[in-house]
Amino acid sequence: MAAAASPSPTPDTSKASSPTPSPAASPSSSKPATAPAAKSAKAAVKGLPALPPEKAGAVTIPRLDAPPVIDGKLDDAAWKKAVVLKDFYQINPGDNTAPTMPTEVFVGYDAKFLYLGFHCFDDPSKVRATVTKRDNVLDTEDSVRVLLDTFNDQRKAYVLAFNPLGIQQDGVRTEGMGVDFSVDIVMESKGAMTSDGYTVEVAIPFKSLRYEAGKGKQWGLQVFRIIQRLNGEQDSWMPISRDVSGLLNQAGHITGLEDISTERTIELIPSFTVSETGKHVRTMSRAFAGSLGLADQGTFVNQPIKVDPGL
């Protein structure tokens, strides 16, 4: 599968310009990000801009009363209750400077899904988007990308990316080792071109992820936007220091994911027994052993549970 560029490469010193459109009315107009808890405030990093209050601590994700329809349009009433992440930083070619175009990200959840909505303001005639193969969206397409550190250990994170039409790229980032794009995470996404750019909606089943959740638990979160025509401009929700080793340790945090589903997909695999000198031997599929963590302790992606009925 195609590999994606790191979110913070050596900056290109050339400077591109493009008119900034006037943001149209969107669901974010009356919903500021939730104020953070003081105990989770991030320490200041030398050389980085001072964080506003809504980024200095964990952002509480609201539970939605009804799920949004995933059609690429942010016109559902559900999004009005979502928290809004905005005020991005340009991290390439700029160094935590103002982005060329504004970006807004809406986040909410219910018992079964984490919902993401993106409003990427731009001149729609200049947006780069095609119906391309899955896992190919970051090479030549404009895109948005999310890193979810669901154990908040700054070691591994899901990488979920989408082009303006909702085509997906997914993988698992291991800090210091890059991204493995060989995994395919089950989720739904749709995108749509608009008069002021493009919008993308995403529903991620919790059963597709491995995570820690519940009262007081936090996930690491980082959101990026890539604008290919502007020297591959990369904008980030949280500032990124080029003097700090690592990416997940510079992420923001979300909390409030409580009472969510822990169901797993179940797949039945028949097996058999054999008799040798009157002694019965029951076989166990290797896949079943792996799903229980007996064969591979490093699994990060939720694979279907293999049930061996012992036929």
The model's pLDDT over 125-178, given as tens digits with 9 standing for 90+, comes to 999 999 988 887 667 899 999 999 999 999 999 999 999 999 999 999 999 899
Q: What are phi and psi of 173, to 5 degrees?
A: -95, 130
What pLDDT, on the 0 to 100 scale, is given for residue 102? 98
Range of the domain at 298: 266-307
Residues 60 and 192 in one domain: yes
Q: How many domains are there within the chain? A: 2
How far, rounded to the nearest angstrom, does the alpha carbon of residue 95 sit from its chain's CA centroid? Answer: 23
Q: Give me the mean pLDDT over the 241-257 stretch.
A: 95
Does residue 3 lie within any of the structural domains?
A: no
- Kindly calculate the radius of gyration of the chain based on its CA atoms and give it in whole angstroms: 21
Residues 189 and 302 in one domain: no
pTM across the whole model: 0.74
Q: Give me the mean pLDDT over the 245-264 stretch.
A: 90
C-alpha dihedral, 253 to 256 to 258 to 264, nearest 10°: -30
Among residues 128, 126, 80, 124, which one has the least CA distance to residue 104?
80
CATH number at residue 97: 2.60.40.1190
Which residue did the predictor score with more confidence, 94 or 7? 94
Token output for 134? 């899955």
**286: confidence class by pLDDT, cuts 50, 70, 90:** very low
**73: confidence class by pLDDT, cuts 50, 70, 90:** very high
Distance CA(105)–CA(90), nearest Å, equals: 16
**Range from 32-41, 71-80, 124-133 that averages highest in pLDDT:** 71-80
Torsional sign, CA 4, 152, 166, 266: positive
Distance CA(119)–CA(26), nearest Å, equals: 8
Residues 279 and 166 in one domain: no
Distance CA(166)–CA(144), nearest Å, equals: 10
Indicate whether 281 pLDDT > 50. no
Report helix, strand or coil for 26: coil
Residues sharing a CB contact under 8 Å with residue 267, sequence separation 6 or more, in sequence order = 304, 305, 306, 307
Residues 273 and 250 in one domain: no
Distance CA(122)–CA(131), nearest Å, equals: 19
What pLDDT, on the 0 to 100 scale, is given for residue 139? 76
